[in-house]
Amino acid sequence: MAKQKITIEKITSLCKRRGFVFLSSEIYGGFAAVYDYGPYGIELKNNLAREWWKHMVQMRADVVGLDSGIFMHPIVWKASGHVDGFDDPRIDCKDCKTRMRADHMLEAFGIDADKMSANEINAEIKKLKEKGKKLKCTTCGKTNLTPAKNFSLMVKSNLGSPTDELLEKNAVYLRPETCGGIYLNYRNILDSTRVKLPFGIAQIGKAFRNEIVARQFIFRTREFEQMEMQYFLRPNEMQEKYEEWKKMRWNWYLEYGIKEKNIKWHKHVKLAHYAAEACDIEYNFEALGGFKEMEGIHQRGDWDLSQHQKFSGAKLEYLDQKTGEKFIPHIMETSAGLNRMFFAFLHEAYTEEEIDGSTRVVLKFDRRLAPVKIAVFPLLKNKPELVKKAKGIFSGLAKKYMCEFDDNGNIGKRYRRQDEIGTPYCVTVDFDTIEKDNSVTVRDRDTMKQERVKIEELDDYFGEKFKI
Ligand code: GAP
């Protein structure tokens, strides 16, 4: 049956209803652009992160992991160019006070304003005016707008004494990308492990950006998680490794269930201040109107290590033991947003099926990503012998799999609930289990077929099902 249209309302409603994602501080009216991940959300997020780590670190002899602090020396962000140049152009409506991304507003006129400064954008707005065209507020439709201004995306905080005179002196930034901590530890990792060029350092962690507009659910938030890998190499290795990693990242999405028709490459024409070549893997976020960036793969050259060497005075060159040559390694990065990936996989899994005149909503996740792997039910809640047996099965399976015990409502409702959170298998203990065959009914999420399996064979049965 054809998949029905996925809307943002359907996704957000499912996320709230089934405990995937909640708006931050909801009882206080909400806190824009920050989201909390509920019981099933954290499982899905952890599973995505684990599978990313598996392919990016565990299965690679040339990549090691790291977990660096969110706060770093404030000069780090001066050296990286973020303090002076990590801006988006902003326009405000003088009437209704809506804040807008000026570059996005120009898109409506067919102008690609990606990476344009506020001055460049104002020049474009002037040209439009000369042709009799005016930008309009996206909320009230009026044209009473401020000129574009550069707006820093850096989130400032302070550590130590928060007294007025020390506030500016103690100002620190919450990292806007996780890779900063990788550059600062490159020397430590070279000195403490046996890595040799080319090699990568990967990390997963929070990043913070003062986004001007953040109204697309978890797609663009002010607090989010990145999964980044910085690959250190000789300049002449760049092109080959860039192509290799592009292929590897593309295939990773396919392996975990993204359909090839739903991803595409976007090659950047205008580049970030550090990049020499860059492309994104875009996902078809139907709920947001089409293809949008999910992961970036960038050639960063020697920008980062050179800048940190210059600003810190530390020697960050690499000594090639074979040739005796000393040089600053170049860097190729893969940078994925965990939350965007979560959104994409939720999209991909979201399925509506017509069953006996009603709609079944089911999340058809790859089994490795499903938040709950097996749900265990006693047929009836008020039959202690069934409940006891089901609890015993739950305790055994839960040692290996994320399981859920549920004795609420009728079985049909319980299946629906598990379908909506994407649980691949439901196990039901019934009267035959106790009285006849010591077997249970195992129901498959996708086919909805049921089969009887002996309790003592469940371990092997699921071992086979969850085998990769
Ligand atoms: N270190 C390179 C870097 O940070 P980026 O393109 O700015 O590159 C990489 O970010 C990824 O991080 C994006 O592809 C996206 O998935 C995620 N990301 C960036 N800003 C985000 C935001 N405000 N909310 C959620 N995810 C974001």
- Give the CATH number, domain containing residue 64: 3.30.930.10
Helix (H) or strand (E) holding 335: strand 330-337
CATH number of the domain encompassing residue 402: 3.40.50.800
The residue whose CA has the least distance to atom 17 of ligand 1 is 337
Length of the chain: 468
In a shared domain, residues 114 and 131: yes
Please tell me the distance between residue 33's alpha carbon and the centre of ligand 1 in angstroms.
14
Domain limit, last residue, from 152, 181, 201 = 152
In this predicted structure, what is the pLDDT of residue 276?
Answer: 83
| Regions in the chain scoring below 70 on pLDDT | 1-3, 161-168, 468
Residue 281 lies in a domain: yes
Backbone angles phi, psi at 207, to 5 degrees: -135, 160
Residue 41 lies in a domain: yes
Number of structural domains in the chain:
3
* 415 closest CA partner among 346, 358, 348: 358
In this predicted structure, what is the pLDDT of residue 61?
Answer: 96
Residue 61 lies in a domain: yes
Residue 365 lies in a domain: no
Task: Out of 219, 227, 335, give the residue to mutate to test ligand 1, the one with the largest number of ligand atoms within 8 Å of its CB.
Answer: 335
In this predicted structure, what is the pLDDT of residue 213?
Answer: 82
Please tell me the distance between residue 246's alpha carbon and the centre of ligand 1 in angstroms.
17
Using only the alpha carbons of the chain, give its radius of gyration: 26
Domain limit, last residue, from 333, 348, 363 = 348
In a shared domain, residues 237 and 183: yes
Task: Out of 68, 213, 340, 343, give the residue to mutate to test ligand 1, the one with the largest number of ligand atoms within 8 Å of its CB.
Answer: 340
Task: Give the nearest ligand 1 atom to 176 CA.
Answer: 4
The residue whose CA has the least distance to atom 24 of ligand 1 is 220
In a shared domain, residues 417 and 443: yes
In a shared domain, residues 107 and 243: no
In a shared domain, residues 287 and 199: yes
The residue whose CA has the least distance to atom 9 of ligand 1 is 335
Q: What is the pTM assigned to this prediction?
A: 0.94
Task: Give the Cα separation of 315 and 111 in Å (integer).
Answer: 44
* 419 closest CA partner among 12, 3, 46, 14: 14
In this predicted structure, what is the pLDDT of residue 423?
Answer: 98
Which residues approach ligand 1 with their CB closer than 6 A? 177, 179, 209, 211, 220-221, 224, 226, 228, 293-296, 333, 335-337, 339-340
In this predicted structure, what is the pLDDT of residue 165?
Answer: 66
In a shared domain, residues 344 and 411: no
Please tell me the distance between residue 207's alpha carbon and the centre of ligand 1 in angstroms.
9
Task: Out of 37, 80, 151, 177, give the residue to mutate to test ligand 1, the one with the largest number of ligand atoms within 8 Å of its CB.
Answer: 177
Please tell me the distance between residue 172's alpha carbon and the centre of ligand 1 in angstroms.
21
The residue whose CA has the least distance to atom 22 of ligand 1 is 220
Residue 219 lies in a domain: yes
In this predicted structure, what is the pLDDT of residue 215?
Answer: 77
Residue 145 lies in a domain: yes
In a shared domain, residues 125 and 200: no
CATH number of the domain encompassing residue 135: 3.30.1600
In this predicted structure, what is the pLDDT of residue 167?
Answer: 61
The residue whose CA has the least distance to atom 7 of ligand 1 is 177
Residue 160 lies in a domain: no
pLDDT digits (tens, 9 = 90+) for 313-358: 999 999 998 899 999 999 999 999 999 999 999 999 999 999 889 9
In a shared domain, residues 170 and 193: yes
Residue 33 lies in a domain: yes
Please name the amino acid found at residue 271. L
Q: Are 202 and 66 in contact (CB under 8 A)?
A: yes
For residue 124, the enclosing domain spans: 87-152
In this predicted structure, what is the pLDDT of residue 166?
Answer: 62
Cross-strand bridge partners of residue 155: 174
Task: Give the Cα separation of 308 and 209 in Å (integer).
Answer: 22
Q: Is 369 exposed, middle or buried (0-12, 13-18, 19+ CB in 10 A)?
A: buried
Please tell me the distance between residue 60's alpha carbon and the centre of ligand 1 in angstroms.
24
In a shared domain, residues 145 and 247: no
Task: Out of 104, 175, 218, 226, give the residue to mutate to test ligand 1, the one with the largest number of ligand atoms within 8 Å of its CB.
Answer: 226
In a shared domain, residues 65 and 197: yes
Please tell me the distance between residue 40's alpha carbon and the centre of ligand 1 in angstroms.
23
For 324, which DSSP code?
-
Helix (H) or strand (E) holding 97: none
In a shared domain, residues 407 and 330: no
Domain limit, last residue, from 348, 380, 399 = 348
Task: Give the Cα separation of 36 and 68 in Å (integer).
Answer: 22
In a shared domain, residues 194 and 282: yes
